[in-house]
């Protein structure tokens, strides 16, 4: 990943300090209760987060019929799974999935703001909101992907999908080699939010095994 999109430790620490200060002020002024903060954090730890997206993608990898339904009617496919309530709540309306493979790689951006399917991907990273990322994702997606460590072959078509309040996209990444005997839970553990945004590939466990050896 390029220096432009790497997390900057100082920037992240400063942002965290500002958030804590704002939280303390709101609690002091009676605008926000400490239990409200705990409720929000608990929501994103147990109900809305990338663990949902990982389960959805893993199911699509092992069930071709589900994968097709996920592409054709994403809300219906998600509703058919026993996922936490609230999947269609705030930031989860009108979700749609696109699949990598067959000579296509998909990249998700939001040119106008930072629309993001929180129930399946969790909170958006700071660089996703960056105007530079949003602009370059449209103008030169191959260069952006290369900087994220995703070289795309010249013959592979790159499709850029622009999320909005009307439709929130996520990617079904390609299933890596060496996962044929893995369970759904094991497959879900491989899948990252970045892979479901199209800025990363799901690594093959074979590669990890060779490095360990």
- CB of 90 closer than 8 Å to CB of 141: no
Check the annotation: does 163 bind a ligand.
no
Task: Say whether 104 sits in a helix, a strand or coil.
Answer: strand
Residues identified as active-site: 110, 113-115
- CB of 201 closer than 8 Å to CB of 195: yes
Please tell me the distance from the alpha carbon of residue 24 to that of residue 164, in angstroms, as a whole number.
32
Check the annotation: does 114 bind a ligand.
yes
Check the annotation: does 113 bind a ligand.
yes
Check the annotation: does 15 bind a ligand.
no
Q: Which of 133, 158, 130, 155 is nearest to 144 (CA)?
A: 133
Tokens encoding 40: 């929000």
Please tell me the distance from the alpha carbon of residue 7 to that of residue 162, in angstroms, as a whole number.
23
- CB of 168 closer than 8 Å to CB of 95: yes
Q: Which of 169, 160, 158, 110 is nearest to 134 (CA)?
A: 110
Binding site residues, as ranges? 110, 113-115
Binding residues for Fe(3+), as ranges, are 110, 113-115
């Amino acid at each position: 990943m390029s220096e432009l999109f790497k997390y900057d430790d100082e920037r992240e620490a400063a942002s965290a300090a500002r958030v804590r200060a704002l939280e303390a002020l709101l609690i002091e002024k009676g605008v926000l209760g400490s239990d409200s903060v705990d409720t929000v954090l608990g929501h994103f730890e147990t109900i809305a987060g990338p663990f949902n997206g990982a389960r959805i993608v893993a199911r699509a990898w092992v069930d071709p019929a589900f994968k097709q339904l996920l592409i054709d009617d994403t809300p219906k496919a998600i509703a058919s799974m026993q996922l936490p309530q609230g999947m269609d709540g705030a930031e989860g309306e009108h979700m749609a999935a696109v699949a990598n493979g067959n000579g296509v790689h998909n990249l998700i951006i939001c040119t106008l703001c930072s629309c993001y399917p929180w129930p399946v991907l969790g909170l958006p990273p700071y660089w996703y909101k960056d105007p530079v990322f949003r602009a370059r994702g449209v103008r030169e997606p191959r260069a952006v992907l290369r900087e994220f460590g995703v070289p795309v072959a010249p013959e592979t078509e790159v499709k850029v999908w622009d999320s909005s309040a009307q439709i929130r996209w996520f990617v079904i990444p390609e299933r890596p080699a060496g996962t044929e005997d893995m369970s759904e839970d094991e497959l879900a553990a491989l899948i990252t939010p970045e892979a479901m945004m199209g800025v990363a590939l799901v690594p093959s466990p074979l590669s990890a095994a060779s490095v360990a050896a």
